[in-house]
Amino acid sequence: MPSMRLARSSWLCLLLLLAAACNGSGESPLPPPDAGSSVGQVSGQVVLDDAAPPAGIAVTVQGSSLTATTDTEGRFTLKDVAPGAHTLVVRTPRYREASEAVEVKARETASVTLQLQRERGGISGTLQVEGGASAEGITVALTGTSRQTQADAQGHFVFTQLPTGPYTLQALKETYEPAQAAVEVGVDAQSPVTLSLLRERGTVAGVFQLEGGGSAGDITVLLAGTDFSARTDAEGRFTLAGVATGTYTLRAQRDSYVQHEQQVEVRAGAKTSVSEILVRERGGVAGTILLEEGVSDRNVTVLLVGTDFTTQTNAQGQFSLTGIPTGTYTLRARRNNYVQHEQQVEVRVDEQTSVSQTLTHERGGVAGTLLLEGSTNAGNITVRLVDTEFSTRTNTQGQFSLTGVPTGAYILIAERDGYVQHEQQVEVRVGAQTSVTQTLSRERGGVTGTFLLEGGASAGNVTVLLVGTDFTTQTNAQGQFSLTGIPTGTYTLRAQRDGYVQHEQRVEVRVGAQTSVTRTLSRERGSVAGTFYVEGGARAVNVAVRLVDTDFSTQTNAQGEFSITGVPTGTYTLRTQLDDYVQYEQSVEVRANAQTSVSRTLFRERGAFTGRVLVEDGASAEGLTVLAHGPESWGTTTDAEGRFTFTGVVTGTYAVSARKDHYASTEASVEVRVDATATVELTLTRQGAPTLVVPKLAVQRGYLELTGSGFGDKRGESRVSVGGIEVPEYLFWSDTQVLVRVPTNVSPGPRDVVLKPGPDWRPAATVSLRVLRQQTLATSSRDWNLGVTPENTLTGWGPNPPLGGQRPTTGDIVSVAAGEYFGLGLKADGTVIEWGEYPSPRTPMPEGLSNVVAISAASNIAAALLRDGTVVSWGGLEYNRTKVPPGLQDVVAISVSTYYSWALKADGTVVSWGNDVYGQVSVPPADLSGVTAIGGTTFGGVAITSDGTLRGWDFGATHNGYEYVTDPVGFIDVRGGYDILVALRQDGTLRAWGRNDYGQATPPATLTGVADAMPMGTFNGVALMQDGTLTTWGSSTAFRLPPAGLVLRVAPR
């Protein structure tokens, strides 16, 4: 057993030694359980700002599992805390998280007090008062609290600084029901709510009856000046519920009854009763009844049918009926030997309806049917009684009626134009109708005349008829005809004979007369029409079209259409004629009264030409492209001897050219004639150096466009190099444009671009441009960061990325930049992608932005440097930060900060613009020149000069002491954040200035091999190493640091 204990002890020692060796020079491991002499403790108190009991709150040492819980007074103790700097974190629901830095020493107790602020929000609401009354001054209270406020004239009210949680709002006003609403107050938010005060209400109900005891339904009952109304049921009952309290005028009304009004008082929760009887409205009827002879009589009885109202006229024929309920009645007046009179009278309230009427003698009538010979429509026959005013007309069936005719004997006459008048004796009897039936005979005449034939042929056997009748005949040898006994009227006369056009005309047949007709019949004819097109589908204009061996001809119009009309029937040859087109002929058949259709395409006259291409230095001319441009465009390739042939070519003049890469193109003119073959010869000569143009700027790995001439249609053996390094990728090649990718490993700065044509004998073209360095690392003041991976995709880290960390998945990214809530990615093709959140108004990124070689961003603004050396800016509208100075050009670098932006020009000078609160856009130092790099913080600008000196100006430089900094190694680059500045030395080491509460302005002295460096948020700095890994310093908060193993692309300097 002792030997076993010794073995376990030995193993424990060995494990501790291995752990110490693995830890190296980094942080010490947590002390073992028996190492109490080397740890300390932290005691403190948590205080809540609203005096709530602080018991049971967890206090944690950030980055460890050490946790303590507060007692009822908020006190706590954390034991076994490793010596060193720590951050205590305290969290509890409905309070804002609090943290505090504490320094722990071995065997000592550190004291700390943590203040928790209650989460708070507010309420914004609107109080509405029924009826549109003003809500001003009405008190709104939070029940269960002492908090209350008053609504303004618009009914708005606000509560601020309320602890988060549920509340009940209440508003009170006399004669209104209390209004309540529940609302949840959230963190840092104004919860919206609407309260409505409704009037106290009561009911008006009752019964209305009608005079006379009829059904009391459908009486309209309303409260004047309101929307409250109802109709009574069959028993006269009504109810108006939900009426706001107060005094109203109640009105009851129904047609023919006197309207009733009374005052009613509506009380809260009570019913006001009403009981009334509606009385009928009344009026009268009065007037005069005379006899047909114009005399008056006292014995005419006048009554209202269906009532007890009756009277008799006095000696003057007058009568009067009074006290009659309003309504419509039938008034009847009667006397022996006179026709009884009835009429409708309307009795109106408080009015006398007037009646005046004459009683007529009893009468009889005459009625019957009159027909017309040969017609089914017997309408409009005039029927009259001689020496009277009795007259009428028949309807379409010939029926007529004469009524109210005094008894006696009369002569009846019936007459209509075109018919013989009819007369007869009729006897009219009292109350009887005398019947008449008769047919009227037609008046008659005749038609005669002569028909001749076109050309003078014999005019016999022409058929002549009246359309729609049985009247027909034929002409004699002289063309004469005669039709007799025809009823008068208008007819269509038709004459017809085979081979001739049928003739029709209107003729008027008159009573006892002969209508005369003379006419010559024309031959039958037809027409030819159609459309001509020219080769290619276009309409053929001004084509001459004619019928051979006739006088019939025309031309096509702008739509290629033609028409030849009036052509005698038969077969013809149709022929077309149009300059430079083949003549066309076809046979056409012309038919009577028909149109023969023609549609055809005319083809161009064609010829051919041959030729040969010779190359100046005897090189092969096989497979060369030969083009011909003229009335048409043609193309072909040469054979082994450089020969070529074009056949079926539209006639005309052509420009013929041949091309061969690295040889000057040549052109010759040739005239192609119909059915002939022309010849042409072309000679190609060697080209000199290509003409080459490049933009002022390009970026590592970005696309580079070369323009000019003489590059060759195909790349072949031609090469392009930048800074002596051949480009890795050829994206497009033509004789005037080449698109390549800038080599990744070319150093930034002025570099030669060389285009070397394939043939050894052809000289190269060389021009210069400036290559800009990729920016593969970008940080934001909001603690989120961006990078470009070796695969040229986007990556990022940090606690507050925009859009919850969502990033575009686009590849081929060259550079990145980060604003406060948005990110930018520059693609190799010179376009920019932007994503993120934009809490404040801003101008968007320009649509179609392209040709970009560098980007920069900060706060809510961004800028892009274009390949022509100009600058585009967009984003926030404040302080003129996006207003690039007019005429700014020859820019080689840009840098954007919170309040202002800089541009470095090719001549080494600096231009700035933006907010001038701290003098940021003031002119840099007068002696500043030879600048090679620019940067800065929120509060000042910085430049690196060609001798490696760092120059700063404005508030940031004077406050943090970097107005003029020399260094034995020399600076080559500088990057700034909110209030931290990091400068890169020539030897890959760093220096920094600014805020340093977490060591963020103190890069590790041993840090070397840095490729790029900058502030990371407000508490850290970050360096991109030559191997693509990242090193950070400053705050050790884990969620701010890049993930382990992250590697970014490193651009050479």
The DSSP element (H or E) to which 957 belongs, if any, is helix 955-960
What is the pLDDT at residue 118? 87
Do residues 219 and 287 make contact, with C-beta atoms less than 8 angstroms apart?
Answer: no
Between residues 742 and 501, the one the model is more confident about: 742
What is the pLDDT at residue 30? 36
Residue written as tokens 């409205």?
A: 281
Distance (Å, whole) CA 792 – CA 781: 24
**E strands along 326-428, which residues?**
327-334, 341-347, 352-359, 364-372, 382-385, 391-393, 399-405, 408-415, 422-428
Between residues 456 and 944, the one the model is more confident about: 944
Judging by beta carbons within 10 Å of its beta carbon (0-12, 13-18, 19+), is residue 614 exposed, middle or buried?
A: middle
Question: Tokens in use for 73?
Answer: 């007074």
Residue written as tokens 């083009």?
A: 627
Nearest of 781, 746, 835, 821 to residue 975 by alpha carbon: 781
Domain 39-118 classified CATH 2.60.40.4130? yes
Nearest of 87, 96, 86 to residue 48 by alpha carbon: 96
916-926 tens-digit pLDDT: 665 556 568 88
Residue written as tokens 């040469």?
A: 638
Average pLDDT over residues 163-167: 91
CATH second-level architecture of 201-278? Sandwich (2.60)
Q: What is the DSSP string of 140-174?
A: EEETTSS-EEE--TTSEEEEEEEESEEEEEEE--T
CA 886-887-891 angle, to 5 degrees, is 110
Q: What is the CATH number of domain 364-440?
A: 2.60.40.4130
- pLDDT mean across residues, the chain: 91
CATH second-level architecture of 606-686? Sandwich (2.60)
Residue 680 has pLDDT above 90, yes or no: yes
Average pLDDT over residues 602-617: 92
The rounded Cα 420 to chain-centroid distance in angstroms is 79
Q: What is the CATH number of domain 444-521?
A: 2.60.40.10
577-591 tens-digit pLDDT: 998 898 899 999 999
Average pLDDT over residues 1033-1047: 91
Count Cα atoms within 13 angstroms, Cβ side, for 337: 4
Q: What Å distances lie between residue 859 and 416, 715, 875, 916, 934, CA to CA? A: 104, 46, 9, 16, 18
User: Reduced to 3 states, what is the DSSP secondary structure of residue 1038?
Assistant: helix
Nearest of 334, 327, 328, 290 to residue 310 by alpha carbon: 334
Distance (Å, whole) CA 874 – CA 892: 19
* Region(s) of the chain under CATH 2.130.10.30: 773-1040
Residue 830 has pLDDT above 80, yes or no: yes
Tell me the pLDDT band of 11, cut-offs 50, 70 and 90: very low
Distance (Å, whole) CA 319 – CA 334: 13
The rounded Cα 566 to chain-centroid distance in angstroms is 59
The domain 691-771 is placed in CATH, from the list 2.60.40.10, 3.30.1490.190, 3.30.450.40, 2.40.50.100, at 2.60.40.10
Residue written as tokens 């005369």?
A: 516
Domain 773-1040 classified CATH 2.30.29.30? no
Residue 715 has pLDDT above 80, yes or no: yes
- Count CB atoms within 10 A of the CB of residue 447: 23
CA 774-780-783 angle, to 5 degrees, is 130
727-739 tens-digit pLDDT: 999 999 999 999 9
Residue 293 has pLDDT above 80, yes or no: no
Average pLDDT over residues 548-567: 94
Tell me the pLDDT band of 1049, cut-offs 50, 70 and 90: very high
Q: Between the ranges 152-156, 222-226, 1047-1051, where is the mean pLDDT highest? A: 1047-1051
Share of the chain above pLDDT 70, in %: 96
What is the pLDDT at residue 917? 63
Q: What is the DSSP string of 63-112?
A: TSS-EEE--TTSEEEEEEEPSEEEEEEEE-TTB--EEEEEEE-TT-EEEE
Nearest of 264, 278, 266, 261 to residue 218 by alpha carbon: 278
* Region(s) of the chain under CATH 2.60.40.4130: 39-118, 201-278, 364-440, 525-602
**E strands along 969-1009, which residues?**
971-976, 980-985, 990-994
Residue 16 has pLDDT above 50, yes or no: no
Helices (H) and strands (E) in the chain, counts: 2, 89
- Count CB atoms within 10 A of the CB of residue 770: 19
CATH second-level architecture of 525-602? Sandwich (2.60)
Q: What Å distances lie between residue 439 and 18, 376, 392, 790, CA to CA? A: 143, 12, 17, 116
The DSSP element (H or E) to which 59 belongs, if any, is strand 58-61
Residue 1020 has pLDDT above 60, yes or no: yes
Question: Tokens in use for 232?
Answer: 């009574």
Nearest of 507, 505, 495 to residue 459 by alpha carbon: 495
321-349 tens-digit pLDDT: 998 998 899 999 998 767 889 999 999 99
Residue 676 has pLDDT above 70, yes or no: yes
Residue written as tokens 């970050």?
A: 1022
Do residues 274 and 261 make contact, with C-beta atoms less than 8 angstroms apart?
Answer: no
Residue written as tokens 């359980």?
A: 33
What is the pLDDT at residue 2? 41
Residue 687 has pLDDT above 50, yes or no: yes
Residue 206 has pLDDT above 70, yes or no: yes
Residue 6 has pLDDT above 70, yes or no: no
Tell me the pLDDT band of 411, cut-offs 50, 70 and 90: very high
Secondary structure letter of residue 805 according to DSSP: G
778-803 tens-digit pLDDT: 999 999 999 999 999 999 999 888 88
Nearest of 573, 627, 631 to residue 605 by alpha carbon: 631
What is the pLDDT at residue 5? 38
What is the pLDDT at residue 133? 85
Q: What is the DSSP string of 36-50?
A: GGG-EEEEEEEEETT
Q: What Å distances lie between residue 231 and 218, 251, 472, CA to CA? A: 5, 12, 81
What is the pLDDT at residue 211? 85
841-851 tens-digit pLDDT: 889 999 999 99
Judging by beta carbons within 10 Å of its beta carbon (0-12, 13-18, 19+), is residue 1010 exposed, middle or buried?
A: buried
Share of the chain above pLDDT 90, in %: 73
Q: What is the amino acid identity at position 65?
A: S
CATH second-level architecture of 120-197? Sandwich (2.60)
Do residues 356 and 341 make contact, with C-beta atoms less than 8 angstroms apart?
Answer: no
Residue 769 has pLDDT above 90, yes or no: yes
Between residues 908 and 327, the one the model is more confident about: 908
* Domain 282-359 in this protein, CATH class: mainly beta
Count Cα atoms within 13 angstroms, Cβ side, for 897: 30
* Contacts of 797 by beta carbon, 8 Å cutoff, 6+ apart: 784, 785, 1041, 1042, 1043, 1046
What is the pLDDT at residue 33? 42
* Contacts of 308 by beta carbon, 8 Å cutoff, 6+ apart: none
Residue 21 has pLDDT above 80, yes or no: no
Residue 19 has pLDDT above 60, yes or no: no
Do residues 278 and 252 make contact, with C-beta atoms less than 8 angstroms apart?
Answer: yes
Put residue 987 in one of left, alpha, beta given phi > 0 → left and psi -120 to 50 → alpha: alpha
Residue 91 has pLDDT above 80, yes or no: yes
How are the residues of the chain apportioned to helix, strand and coil, as percentages rounded to the nearest 5? Answer: 5, 55, 40
Distance (Å, whole) CA 125 – CA 113: 38
Do residues 81 and 148 make contact, with C-beta atoms less than 8 angstroms apart?
Answer: no
630-653 tens-digit pLDDT: 999 999 999 999 999 999 999 999
